[in-house]
Amino acid sequence: MADRLLFSKTGRARYISHLDLMRTFQRAFARAKIPIKHTEGFHPHPFVSIALPLSVGYSSQCEILEFGLLEGTDPLEVPERLTAAMPEGITVHQCYPAQRKLKELAFVNYIMSFEYPEGRPQECEPALAELLGRESLVVQKKSNKSKKGYTEVDLISLIREWSAECQSDAMAVSMVVSAQNPGLNPELIRAAFCETYPQFSPQFVSFHRREILDQEGKIFR
């Protein structure tokens, strides 16, 4: 099986798009002089694949990239050497041979920070609880495959658990949601909240991917 990297993407690097990030990794491996496997075919290129694409603007401390390490490089050296060849904000933590299949990756834990610089309304937490406590919450989601241009998803069925922690000017919502097939982008939750409770709309919401989990809710690597 392939090799994996565990890396984080924070700060300025949050705004690097998925495709740009793959290109950045390909170049960074070359810069760090870490030879990796190439694709076969007419235009061979270094093979890299990111397990769960992250939306532009989100930060993460648990990104996984698959690639193939060629002989001659000690995997233990990879994190340090690769991080040195990266743009600011990308830190490689681990390099290891894959043990489990990517499809076992079932859930993602996101932290959504609802920011209210002018003071958090008391009722925003109960409002969120009301919304997420419903039987179902069907929203429209953009889709290129559907003829209508969108598909309908029930957010409630994709949320495994959530909790909120409140401060005077913010509400931090920790949420464990389905990772893939289908995955849930927490932006949809923000949008549904702001639509249902416009009076509690925060000025800004930031998104952070904190952990990836398997079906049992254990950390996936």
Partner 1 sequence: MNRTLEQILPKVQKPARYTGGEYNAVVKDRREVDLRYALCFPDTYEIGMSNLGCRILYGVMNQEKGVWCERCYAPWGDMEEAMRREGLLLYGLESGDPIADFNIIGFSLGYEMAYTNVLNMLDLAGLPLRSEDRPQLTPLVVAGGTCCYNPEPLAPFVDFFVLGEGEEVTLEYIELYRQAREECWTKEEFLQEAARIPGIYVPSFYEPVYHSDGTLAEMRIQEGSGAPERVTKRVVQDMDKSYFPVKTIIPSTEIVHDRVMLELFRGCIRGCRFCQAGYVYRPVRNRSPQLLAQYGKAACEDSGYQEMTLSSLSSTDYPCLLELCDDLLDYCAPRDIGLSLPSLRADTFSMNLMERLQRVRKGGLTFAPEAGTQRLRDAINKNLREEDLMQSVRTAFAGGWSGVKLYFMLGLPTETDEDVRGIADLARKVYFAWRECTPNKARGVRITVSTSWFVPKPHTAFQWDAQIPVEEYQRRVDLLRDELKRDKSITYNWHDPQTSYLEAIFSRGDRRLADVLERAWEQGAKMDSWSEYFDFDRWMKAFQDCGLDGDFYAHRERGREEVFPWCRIDPMVTTDFLWHEREKCYQSQTTPDCRTRCSGCGANRLLKGGVCNG
Q: Indicate the residue among 21 and 137 with the shorter CB distance to partner 1.
A: 21
Cα 220 vs. chain centroid, distance in angstroms?
13
Determine, following the binding rule CB under 8 A, whether residue 123 of this chain makes contact with partner 1: no
Contact status, residue 167 vs residue 90, Cβ threshold 8 Å? no
Whose CA is closest to 129, among 69, 189, 57?
189
Could you say which of 1, 49, 56, 126 contacts partner 1 (CB under 8 A)? 56
- Report the candidate in 63, 49, 70, 68 with the shortest Cα–Cα distance to residue 94: 63
Residue 37, SS3?
coil
∠ CA 130-143-11, nearest 5°, is: 70
Binding of partner 1 by 53 (CB under 8 A): no
Residues 71-100, one symbol each (x = binds partner 1 by CB under 8 A, - = not), give: --------------xxxxx-----------
Least Å distance between CB 86 and partner 1? 7
Among the listed ranges 122-130, 149-157, 167-175, 202-210, the one in contact with partner 1 (CB under 8 A) is 202-210
Q: Is 204 in the site for partner 1 (CB under 8 A)?
A: yes
Does residue 138 touch partner 1 according to CB under 8 A? no
Nearby residues of 8 by Cβ (< 8 Å), 6 or more positions away: 59, 60, 61, 62, 63, 90, 91, 93
Stretch that binds partner 1, among 26-34, 106-114, 152-160, 188-196 (CB under 8 A): 26-34
Beta bridge partners of 175: 110, 162
Q: Which is nearer to partner 1, 32 or 62 (CB)?
A: 32
What span, in angstroms and rounded, lies between the C-alpha atoms of 128 and 112?
12
Q: Does 29 bind partner 1 (CB under 8 A)?
A: yes
* Site for partner 1 contains 17 (CB under 8 A): yes
- Can residue 23 be called a binding residue for partner 1 (CB under 8 A)? yes
- Report d(CA 92, CA 104) in Å as an integer: 22
Interface residue with partner 1, options 5, 8, 22, 24 (CB under 8 A): 24
Structure letter (DSSP) for residue 42:
S
Binding residues vs partner 1 (CB under 8 A): 11-13, 15-17, 20-21, 23-24, 26-31, 33, 38, 44-45, 56-57, 85-89, 203-204, 206
